[in-house]
Amino acid sequence: MEINNIWEKLNIPVKDSFRKDIQEGKVPELPYYIVDQEDLKQKIKDKIFAIDGDRMSTSYITAAYGNGKTNVFRYLELFFNKTYSSFNIDVLYSRADPERVDLVVFLLKKIEDIYLDQIIDAIKKSKENDYDYSKFAYEFQESFAEIKQYTDKVFASDNNEELKELIYLGTGRLANKRYFDRFELAHLKDYNRREILVLFLNLIAYSGKYLVFGIDEVEKIPERSKIRFNHFLTSYRELIDLFNKINGHYLIIAITQEEKSQKLEEVNYAVYTRVKPDIITIQPISSNKDKKELIKYLNEVFGTNNDVEEVLKLINKLSNLKISENRLLIQEISKILLSTSNEFTDLNQILDEKNLKEEYEYTHDNLIKDDAFKNIHRKFFDPLQYYLESHNRTELVRKQDRYFLDAVANEIQYFIFNEDKDNIENEVINIKDLLIKEKENINKVIIYSPKQLELGYSNFSNIEKQLLIIDYDPKELFTLLEIYRENIDLQESLDFIISSYTKNQL
């Protein structure tokens, strides 16, 4: 399938919230153009060109945090689902679920939720065309012989409601033996779901629709359990071994790979040998050519007209400060273009300047040993309250609701501790409820959001109050506040550090 315009610039929205998100370096909110990453773009393009071929394919994307994995998925979503839907390619983006680690079952649930009617239509179409349906199931060779009875029953039915129930038997939504007895079918085993997935994906391809499955944040699984990660990888390997029996489609796995993380070849060598040619590593933008391209693009986004060479000089001066994340690079270019600040504010740098690096690391290590970061949302507000009281600020601290009300400045400062992106919607609801509750008392809302949450202003498009989102690490700020509480002689230096860290809000 030739799609020569993929990776073109897509239309940029004009909302202020979008520009604010870009200024903060919220990379997933910049899905309109991918700068650099030529290797990644070429490899994904090649896979999509073959998406209507005679086998499924995969890519395994690795990158350090903040270098744009999610941005790639968002671009593909915007390109295929909204801008060029006529290609009949659907991008199904989802974050990995540590509670559902069987990849085959995970994908079957996606298909069941979205493509039930399409599968039924494909079944009917194949019957009208007198198509040999055994080809959907590898002509019932090898392990596919175990689903022959089930497949025969599916293609013998003309009733939509009956077909729905039969499909649910295949996906596992209906798993009780009595449902199988009703259709006089042998009970399908969990392992048979692999062949069922092949059957359904081939039916979807027969209908002319091709799917790009994007599974992001896979690192959440090994963070929860190494055993679960091995289960995930085993199901991934089993699916890869069936790719030559699936007509088309494309699966992209994305994982954050930090320096201390185990590499795939160390965790599961069997999977590594299968995907080695399909591994794509996203690197930080480093060449002057690519930096200039990014500067030009951000000039376009912000409607500014800064001299590209001059901005590049300023950015390269910051290279000594190790801007190792594309997210930080976008932040710094945005600051220069909008003339908000040309100073790179990095916690380690400020600690070094104030000769407090050793004290910080000592306190941080002790907090780890004492399990102080466990249930941090309950412990955080004690040192914070001490800090506020020492500055004679008239705050009303609501520990249960994770905020304090500054009665003088008429503002709320609200803290988020959960880094799970699935929790964003709940936090937005909490903040909106809080605004209703305190509507007479506040003019401004300041939200402290964990960096990895990448909470954007676009999440709050309906909020009229002045809003400021501060990306932070709860453990870092907690450590700074603890040092402040325990060391009166260091408080003057810590005042500066905490103020800088919180953009002069604390």
For residue 341, what pLDDT band results from cuts at 50, 70 and 90?
A: very low
What was the pLDDT predicted at 11? 74
What is the per-residue pLDDT for 139? Answer: 96
Q: Are 27 and 66 in contact, with CB atoms under 8 Å apart?
A: yes
Does 68 reside within a domain? yes
**pLDDT confidence of residue 246:** 98
Which of 241-245, 285-289, 411-415 is the most confident on average? 241-245
Per-residue pLDDT, averaged over 296-305, amounts to 84
pLDDT for the residue 437: 77
Asked whether residue 367 falls in the same domain as residue 420, the answer is yes
- Cα 265 to Cα 313: distance, rounded to the nearest angstrom: 40
The better pLDDT of the pair 410, 229 is held by 229
Is residue 23 domain-resident? no
Please determine, for residue 288, whether its predicted confidence score (pLDDT) is greater than 70: yes
Co-location of 404 and 261 in the same domain: no
296 falls within a domain: yes
Can you give the pLDDT at residue 344? Answer: 45
Which domain CATH number covers 225?
3.40.50.300
pLDDT in tens, 163-188: 999 999 999 999 888 989 999 999 99
Q: What is the domain count for the chain?
A: 4
For 3-7, 153-157, 335-339, 480-484, which range has the lowest pLDDT when averaged over its residues? 335-339
The pLDDT confidence band at residue 9, using thresholds 50, 70 and 90, is: confident
Task: Report whether pLDDT(328) > 50.
Answer: yes
Give me the pLDDT at residue 125, please: 95
Strand partners, 412: 405, 445
Contact partners, residue 187, CB within 8 Å, separation at least 6: 177, 180
Q: Is the pLDDT of residue 424 over 90?
A: no
Whether the CB-CB separation of 407 and 395 falls below 8 Å is answered with yes
Handedness of CA 460, 463, 464, 467 (dihedral sign): negative
Smallest CA-to-CA distance from 202 within 238, 163, 242, 233 is with 242
C-alpha angle with apex 148: 145 to 149, nearest 5 degrees?
130
Is residue 242 scored above 60 in pLDDT? yes
Residue that finishes a domain, picked among 300, 325, 344: 344
Per-residue pLDDT at 13: 60
303 lies in the same domain as 372: no
pTM, two decimals, is 0.73
Determine the structural domain holding residue 320 and report its residue range. Answer: 288-344
Question: For all residues of the chain together, what is the average pLDDT?
Answer: 87
pLDDT (mean) for 376-400: 86
Q: How far is CA 318 from CA 12, 176, 311, 378, in A?
A: 28, 62, 11, 37
* pLDDT (average), residues 130-151: 96
Same domain, 371 and 490: yes
Residue 377 shares a structural domain with residue 444: yes
Same domain, residue pair 367 and 438: yes
Q: Which amino acid is at 133?
A: Y
Mean pLDDT of 122-130: 95
